[in-house]
Amino acid sequence: MLTLAADIEVLARFGRALADPIRCRILLALREAPAHPADLADSLGISRTRLSNHLACLRDCGLVVAVPVGRRTRYELADERLGHALDDLRTAVVAVEADKTCVDADEKGCR
């Protein structure tokens, strides 16, 4: 059981980052490879301004880092273990969703 305030805060930041579908898409894209903001915006089909706001949130959460490359900035996951954590979380959620133990799951909202 988590008892340290720091542990709880880390998980809360991770949850805050995952609470938005665009931030999830950014994290999954960066899991594949580091990228420049313009390339990320194009591949995700969002404006650079919107992407910039989401990247700022992910930086504040400590999940991504900005790496200067000449006059440009490249973004990547702050730690490679985050990519593994995203994979583990995604597969766990998919497994739980597929295993509906509640007979009236749709009606009760207990997926």
pLDDT in tens, 60-77: 999 999 999 999 999 999
Span 5-60, pLDDT tens digits: 888 888 888 898 999 999 999 999 999 999 999 999 999 999 999 999 999 999 99
Query: What's the pTM value of the predicted model, to 2 decimals?
Result: 0.79
34-37 long-range Cβ contacts below 8 angstroms, 24+ apart: 34/67, 34/74, 34/75, 34/76, 35/74, 35/75, 35/76, 36/69, 36/72, 36/73, 36/74, 36/75, 37/73, 37/75
